[in-house]
Structure 1
């Protein structure tokens, strides 16, 4: 069954309407009718079992029949990733990371970044669609882009890692990750982090890690990191 999204819902919601975009998808694309059962999430862990009471392509309405609350994971994964030059590759990363299970994403602008700006509204839609498609009830938080330096100045959990391509002694990420611990991982641009950025991250307590022997694209490296953390916490 399809999931729909309405961020305004809470445990006290009884009747509600959908956005024009969701209404059209429900009534026109899926051809739902009054009386049909639908599942709606607010992206905050709650799944609403609802009955459609108005199937209007411009304004669908539903009534809540039952509420199921899901508990968040014992750990949190925050990926700080430099946006790729080609936007479709960054969108692909967002989609797949949402499906695998990421909690928070921050685009970081580095010295060698070729893309400096992003359309947050467009990227939010990618994440929302991926959440619904993968039947998840928690919407990952997508932060506004910040400079690499600004990101380092923020508060971060104990487990802090940076994945870079410089040749030095690095332990594999899978051997550094601890289950049920909050984690933040830095993934650089196509040209990698600069030496100054790497040194600055070390000063802030970030530990260098390896994602394997192959040289990976930015979006691939971010997904490998996401899948590795997810695997360690689900075995």
Structure 2
């Protein structure tokens, strides 16, 4: 399936980047069949119409793809390098994630966040990953979330924070996931959450969980957690 992204379901034309990909990379021509999604579950079967530097299409069939019976939300303090945040968003989108929130914690410099988290670029990366992995829902990405207000607002069925106290063991995230439920997982910054932040999360219904026996980088932890939640939904 040649899948393209057009958020405006009434436009019937691919944007410049998608047009270039269809003609230069995929070598598609007028009359070829493509599929187009708006990133909100709509899947359209279309006939391509190439004209000069434009790629229009005629819709010949459409359907709404239902959302999954569960939802994965990852909230994370960004790393200090933009490329790691971008790689993380790409891979979590491929695995399956409904929402990604970047948090401002005690160990997060807001100025650094603005430098290493570009929302427009992250949305483009997520859209490309959505298409590559043959999905039809674009994850919602938010930035500049203040920790306390974010924690208070969470309404997921299962609320988890990745944290293992010294000389202590906690259950792996896999064992905490409930079938067909929404799960929110918090991932801390380099230097981890502060004791105050951990206590505040637990006061607001979050449970501490482990991501395994080794110490993971922030972006690795996010991907490992995302994968574990998705896998638990399949195997539980």
Structure 1 gaps of 5+ residues are none
- Output one character per residue of 1:108-144: Cα deviation in whole Å (capped at 9) or x when no partner: 1111125322210011111001001111111111113
Q: Aligned partners of 2:26 and 2:224: how far apart in 1?
A: 34
Partners of 2:179 and 2:52 lie apart in 1 by: 47
Aligned residues: 230
Q: Name the SS for the 1:63 alignment partner.
A: strand
Quick check: 48-57 or 101-110, which moved more? 48-57
1:37 equivalent in alignment to 2:33:
yes
Q: Give the drift of 1:165.
A: 4.1
- Structure 2 counterparts to residues 56-205 of structure 1, below 5 A: 56-57=52-53, 59-113=54-108, 115-117=112-114, 118-167=117-166, 168-205=168-205
2:19 is aligned to 23
User: Please, which of 49, 56, 61 is the counterpart of residue 53 of structure 1?
Assistant: 49
C-alpha distance in 2 between matches for 1:126 and 1:110? 25
TM-score (norm 2): 0.92
Q: Residues of 2 paired with 1:99 and 1:156: CA distance?
A: 24
Moved more, 101-110 or 61-70: 61-70
Which consecutive residues of structure 2, in runs of 5 or more, have no partner in the other structure?
none
Contact residue 32 and residue 48 of structure 2 kept, 8 A: yes
- RMSD of aligned C-alpha atoms? 1.5
Conserved? CA contact 2:211–2:225, under 8 Å: yes
Please state how far the C-alpha of 1:40 moved relative to its aligned partner.
1.0
* Cα pair 1:52 1:61 within 8 Å, conserved: yes
How far apart, in 2, do the equivalents of 1:90 and 1:72 lie? 26
- Mean Cα displacement is larger for which, 72-81 or 45-54? 45-54
More helix by share: 2
Structure 1 residues 187, 82: closer, same or farther in 2, change over 3 A?
same
Query: What is the TM-score of this pair, normalised by structure 1?
Result: 0.92
